[in-house]
Amino acid sequence: MIQLPCARVWTFTLTKHGRLKVKTTSEQQEAKRKEREKKLKLYNAGTQAAFSKRKKGEHDEEGLKITGEILAVNPDFYSLWNFRKEIYLYILDNRNKDEVQKMMEDELSFLETCLKVNPKSYGSWNHRCFVMDNMPKPDWARELHLRFVVERSNVNLEDELLFTTHKIQTNFSNYSSWHYRSKLLPLVYPDHSNPVGVQEEVLLKEYEVVQNAIFTDPDDQSAWFYHRWLLGRGYGKLMDIPDTIPGWSDMAVSVTLTDDSDCTEFSQGLNLSADQTETWVLSQEKSGTKFTAELSAAATSTLEKELESITELHNLEPENKFLTKKT
Amino acid sequence: MKGTPIKDIVIPDNAPKTLLLQKHVDYIAAYGGKKDEYEYSITEYLRMSGIYWGLTVMDLMGHLDKMNKNEVLQFVQQCQHECGGIGASIGHDPHLLYTLSAVQILTLYDSLDTINTDKVVEYIQNLQQDDGSFYGDKWGEVDTRFSFCAVACLSLLGRLEAIDVDKAVEFVLSCMNFDGGFGCRPGSESHSGQIYCCVGFLAITGQLHHINADLLGWWLCERQLPSGGLNGKLHWIDKDKLTKFILACQDDETGGFADRPGDMVDPFHTLFGIAGLSLLGDETIKAVNPVFCLPESVIQRTGISDQAASF
């Protein structure tokens, strides 16, 4: 559900994605050719009619009908969606609200049929945004859980966060939900001392959520990526672990450590310079090291538990590619 | 990724194992002659990109001379609008996507004076928003793909300074995600297409240090399937498997490449099949510049320097 923003998918529908080539007889080929010739005539006649109406500045139902027939088979014909937008803007200025509302509701149902045929069409999603933005009484509830809605209407972010919790509980291997969560947490529970941070107590709870997921399916990369992202929130100083600390013999999670020397506000927590190691080390040292000294007691205890779990997981699954033993 | 079924394929034993260069040359040379076919007609909305794919792949294979240069230049000229933007075909609306394809075509032919480039610059300038992002056209869709189109175009025109580059960079970085990848807008999920555009964008603007290459490389590598399909970071992925996969996507009857073995071929996948093999080191194909997706020799001629070589 969350994975349906206006235009998220990168495909050129023109390209024959996933169209299996089938061998045919010459008779079949001839029949196909005739059928295509007929289709081509209709298509070209429609296109010409639409362009000529547009040139004459005719913004009426007939224009909607002609463009609708072409767009139903070819929703990527962007100039025709633009013509439709011009028609609707004209109607918006020249007819009463109820009539406009009704016409735009029809447009939404038309778009739904287009999207059923071609769910990835940029043109259809883009036009849907236009209609929702321009109709007198948009029904945002119906569009709920489309990313688009979150951007434009005041959906309660805490509800959204609960929604992802629910999604993750039903299915841990849910890349979209983990992604959405990583966007929501800093908004709902911001850590004001750190622009990309999350409040500590929330963060600590979050470790448990992701640990459950990792234990349920240790090979699922979405939970590991999220885990890595969590380690980058909040403890700015903690990330500055020196390369060698004498006497360390610990578990390492092979995810990235961060250093803020080269970071912008945006890439902080994701950046890494070339010579840095790609491991996050969870130390077993109880005290006296730089690592633990800068943490609150709660954080230390959570990370210690984290280390225990990771060690346990490593013992259960020595071959897991996301875990390595540091010696 | 887990949770969503991954469609992988088994490469059939009879799939092509060698590069059928001549077949691809014939396929592309014949493609423009199919003007009265339905399939050709319904792809008119992206004709400008189609021509760019065809010309580029022909140049990479050393056969650009087989294409009708004058016809192409005349066509491109007729697609420029008063506002400076360029449409996909004659009578189609201007859009950044096709403006870039047109500029790529004219760069390939070293014929930028065919169109009014000052107006192109003005068109792109006017599409930049206060937050640094770019509209794709006057209707206002925002996508990091358009940020790439804008800087690629201006860079090829030698006019990068015409926009607020710092703001543009700021916007693209705000689309970076927890997995190191990029989405189409802030908050959108990572997608390989947007990653290509954003990495290309940062290469052109000299900002590649913002990328965590190891993390992003990891994400991309997780996408290589057992058959060898999909792409990743070149020294991490299995090159031999990927080469085998690309070769198996050729159609040994018609020429051209498909998205996967046994599917219908098209010019888009033909360009990316050939460009992919070039990046994998096939010496019968010219070197390709991965940022602009043009022959390296063409980019050298323009004198543009990008960070692609160091990535």
Q: Which residues is A198 bridged to in the sheet?
A: A190
Task: Please answer yes or no on whether A179 and B190 come within 8 Å at the CB atom.
Answer: yes
Task: Say how many Å lie between the first and final Cα of chain A, rounded.
Answer: 44
Nearest-Cα residue of chain A relative to residue B45: A77
Flag whether pLDDT at A168 surpasses 90.
no
| Residue whose entry in the numeric block shows the structure tokens 């403006």 | B99
Q: Do B2 and A222 touch (CB under 8 A)?
A: yes
Residue pLDDT, tens place only, A293-313: 344 556 666 666 777 777 777
Closest-CA residue of chain B to A38: B38
B15 DSSP 8-state letter? S
pLDDT (0 to 100) of residue A248: 33
Residues in chain B: 311
Mark the ranges of chain B whose per-residue pLDDT is less than 70: 1-8, 219, 221-237, 306-311
Span A119-123, average pLDDT: 81
Is residue A141 predicted with pLDDT exceeding 90? no
pLDDT tens-digit series, residues B35-67: 778 888 889 999 999 999 999 999 999 999 999
How close A288 comes to chain B (CA, Å)?
31
Greatest mean pLDDT among A143-157, A242-256, B214-228: B214-228
Which residues have C-beta within 8 Å of that of residue A295, sequence separation ≥ 6? A235, A238, A303
Lowest mean pLDDT among A10-14, A50-54, A186-190, B95-99: A10-14
Size of interface A-B (CB pairs under 8 A): 173
In the structure encoding, which two tokens stand for residue B82, read together? 């008063």
Most confident listed range (A30-34, A200-204, B47-51):
B47-51
> Where on the phi/psi map is residue B110: left (φ > 0), alpha (ψ -120 to 50), or beta?
left
Whole-prediction pTM? 0.74
User: Which residue type occupies B39?
Assistant: E
Q: Which residues contact A191 (CB under 8 A, 6 or more apart)?
A: A197, A198, A199, A200, A233, A234
Contacts of range A293-296, beta carbons closer than 8 Å, 24 or more positions apart: A294/A235, A294/A237, A294/A238, A295/A235, A295/A238, A296/A200
CB B67 within 8 A of CB B80: no
Q: Searching chain A, which residue's CA lies closest to the CA of residue B251?
A: A21
Alpha carbon distance B173, B210 (integer Å): 8
Using the predicted structure, report yes or no on whether residue A196 has a pLDDT greater than 70: no
**pLDDT tens across A78-102, in order?**
999 999 999 999 999 999 999 999 9
CB contact under 8 A, B173 and A151: no
Flag whether pLDDT at A250 surpasses 80: no
SS (H, E, C) A272-300: CCCCCCCCEEECCCCCCCHHHHCCCHHHH
* Interchain CB distance below 8 Å, A18 and B260: yes
SS3 content of chain B, % helix, strand, coil (to 5): 50, 5, 45
Q: What is the ipTM score, two decimals?
A: 0.89
Model confidence at A208: pLDDT above 90:
no
Contacts of A77 in chain B (CB under 8 A): 45
Tell me which residue in A8, A73, A78 faces B184 most closely, judged by beta carbons.
A8
Hey, how many other C-beta atoms are within 10 angstroms of the C-beta on A252?
19
Token pair of B160 as six digits? 């990068």
| B112 vs A268, higher pLDDT | B112
CA of A293 vs chain B CAs: smallest distance (Å): 27
A12-30 mean pLDDT: 59
Query: What are the chain B neighbours of A176 within 8 Å (beta carbons)?
Result: 189
Instruction: Give residue A143's pLDDT.
Output: 66
- The span from the CA of B306 to the CA of B152, in Å, is 11
Measured CA to CA, the distance from residue B297 to residue A292 in angstroms comes to 55
What own/partner pairs with CB < 8 Å and gap ≥ 24 does A115-124 have? A117/A72, A117/A75, A118/A13, A118/A75, A118/A76, A119/A9, A120/A9, A120/A11, A120/A13, A121/A13, A121/A75, A121/A76, A122/A7, A122/A9, A122/A76, A122/B141, A123/A71, A123/A75, A123/A76, A123/A77, A123/A78, A123/A81, A124/A75, A124/A81
Chain A hits for B263, CB-CB cut-off 8 Å, are: 16-21
Q: Is the pLDDT of residue A183 over 60?
A: yes
Of the listed ranges A77-81, A227-231, A250-254, B112-116, the least confidently predicted one is A250-254
Between positions 39 and 58 of A, the ones with CB within 8 A of B are 39-40, 43-44, 47, 51
Average per-residue pLDDT for chain A: 69
- % of chain A with per-residue pLDDT over 90: 22
A271–B210 C-beta distance less than 8 A: yes
Secondary structure of A213-254 in HEC code, one letter for each residue = HHHHCCCCHHHHHHHHHHHCCCCCHHHCCCCCCCCCCCEEEC
Residues of A in contact with B219 (CB under 8 A): 225
What distance separates the 2 farthest-apart alpha carbons in chain A?
Answer: 84
Q: Provide the pLDDT for residue A18.
A: 55
Per-residue pLDDT for A262 more than 80? no
The nearest alpha carbon in chain A to B176 belongs to A267
The DSSP code for B54 is: H
> Mind telling me how many Å the CA of A47 is from chain B's nearest CA?
10
Percent of chain B with pLDDT over 90: 70
pLDDT of residue B211: 86
